[in-house]
């Protein structure tokens, strides 16, 4: 508040003469209301943003749960949200029990699935990323392999399962093989695209400086392609997690996919719904984790 800003209240005072101009400053201090102070304003703003960001997703969830409850109420076959929730609480109160190979806690099932995804996906990354670099760097290799990749890529992941069972003889490696073959393509293709899209300027810098192949790789190729690689990795891990449920349904063993099938045989529909949520949430976490990693390595 300044006396230089004439308002209807102090206009008369200002006009009256210079000695009275100082009057507003000397007037008894009105206590500033909390929401006009700096910290108060910040709190108010923060609350508004919080609500603005939180309300749409919350509304979406409420709508979803309501629809679910309506559908569950109309027929008897699907358990409602409340019933599922209590089943989930019971299930997650003891996630790591072990009553033999066919009856283990939900935690063990999730960890087993993650282990298979980790192995298959890890193998796919170890093969796929270097292969992508080579395809991107050598045009001959690109033209040699692209017809094969184009044919193999759209094949449904489960079509690979019989081949895996035939060659590997066992269910466990066969399901890892399915993860491998279905999650390798996004990494190969994205890495190759990244290498091909390196700006010519960077390569000119390398040529003018006469950098060695090793320096070109560590200082230019690798950092330039890393964001593309991470995009491939993200897509791949999504595919791997997508495929594991189906693969385990067919091969059995301990794992979230087989658990779903087991609960279907037990006609425990609440557990199947829980499994759907678990698969979704674990997939989301995997993806978000990799997003964080990608952000850490982006240089823009």
Partner 1 sequence: MQSYVQIENASMVFNTKKGRFTALTGIDLHVDQGEFIALIGHSGCGKSTLLNLVAGLLDATEGVLLLANKEIKGPGPERGVVFQNHSLLPWLTAFDNVHLAVEKVFGASESKTQLKARTRAALELVGLTHAANKLPGEISGGMKQRVGIARALAMEPKVLLMDEPFGALDALTRAHLQDELMKIVAATKSTVIMVTHDVDEAVLLSDRIVMMTNGPAATIGEILTVDLPRPRDRLQLAHDPQYHHLRSQVLEFLYSRQMRPKEAA
Binding site for partner 1 (CB under 8 A): 201-202, 204-205, 207-211, 215, 219-220, 223-224, 299-300
Q: How far is CA 145 from CA 122, 136, 149, 175, in A?
A: 22, 11, 6, 25
- Measured from the CB atom, is 65 or 224 closer to partner 1? 224
Nearer to partner 1, 14 or 211 (CB): 211
d(Cα 242, Cα 283) in Å, to the nearest integer? 8
> Which one, 22 or 215, has the nearer CB to partner 1?
215
- Min separation Cβ 225 and partner 1, Å: 11
CB-nearer residue toward partner 1: 176 or 220: 220
User: What DSSP string runs through 175-242?
Assistant: HHHHHHHHHHHHHHHHHHHHHHTS-HHHHHHHHHTT--HHHIIIIIIHHHHHHHHHHHHHHHHHHHHH
CB of 200 to partner 1, least distance (A): 9
We find the least distance from the C-beta atom of residue 139 to partner 1, in angstroms, to be 17
Closest to partner 1 by CB, 68 vs 202, is: 202
Query: Bridge-partner residues for 98, per DSSP?
Result: 104
Taking the complex as a whole, the smallest distance from the CB of residue 204 to partner 1 amounts, in Å, to 6
| Whole-number Å distance between alpha carbons of 118 and 179 | 9
All residues at 6 or more sequence positions from 247 whose CB lies less than 8 Å from its CB, including other chains:
116, 157, 158, 161, 174, 175, 178, 179, 257
Q: How far is the CB of 39 from partner 1 (least distance, A)?
A: 31
Task: Report the alpha-carbon angle 69-88-64, nearest 5.
Answer: 30
Residue 214 C-beta: closest distance to partner 1, Å = 12
**DSSP letter string, 254-274:** SSHHHHHHHHHHTT-HHHHHH
Instruction: Report CA Rg, the chain.
Output: 31
Smaller CB separation from partner 1, 24 or 223:
223
């Amino acid at each position: 508040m300044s006396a230089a800003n004439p308002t209807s209240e102090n206009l008369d005072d200002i006009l009256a003469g210079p000695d009275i101009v100082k009057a507003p400053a000397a007037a008894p201090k009105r206590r500033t209301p909390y929401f006009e102070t700096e910290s108060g304003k910040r709190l108010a703003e923060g609350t508004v943003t919080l609500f603005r960001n939180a309300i749409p997703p919350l509304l979406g969830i409420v709508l979803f749960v309501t629809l679910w409850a309506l559908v569950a109420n109309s027929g008897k076959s699907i358990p409602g949200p409340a019933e599922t929730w209590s089943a989930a609480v019971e299930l997650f109160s003891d996630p790591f029990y072990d009553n033999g190979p066919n009856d283990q806690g939900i935690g063990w099932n999730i960890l087993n699935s993650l282990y298979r995804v980790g192995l298959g996906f890890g193998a796919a990354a170890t093969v796929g990323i270097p292969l992508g670099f080579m395809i991107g760097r050598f045009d001959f290799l690109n033209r040699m392999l692209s017809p094969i990749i184009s044919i193999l890529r759209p094949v449904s992941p489960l079509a690979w399962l019989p081949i895996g069972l035939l060659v590997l003889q066992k269910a466990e490696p066969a399901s890892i093989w399915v993860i491998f073959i279905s999650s390798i393509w996004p990494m190969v293709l994205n890495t190759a695209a990244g290498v091909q899209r390196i700006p010519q300027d960077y390569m000119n810098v390398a040529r003018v400086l006469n950098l060695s192949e090793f320096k070109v790789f560590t200082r230019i190729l690798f950092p330039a392609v890393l964001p593309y690689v991470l995009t491939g990795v993200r897509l791949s891990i999504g595919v791997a997690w997508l495929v594991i449920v189906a693969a385990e349904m067919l091969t059995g063993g301990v794992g979230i996919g087989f658990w779903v099938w087991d609960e279907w045989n037990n006609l425990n529909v609440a557990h199947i719904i829980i499994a759907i949520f678990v698969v979704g949430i674990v997939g989301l976490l995997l993806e978000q984790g990799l997003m964080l990693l990608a952000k850490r390595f982006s240089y823009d």
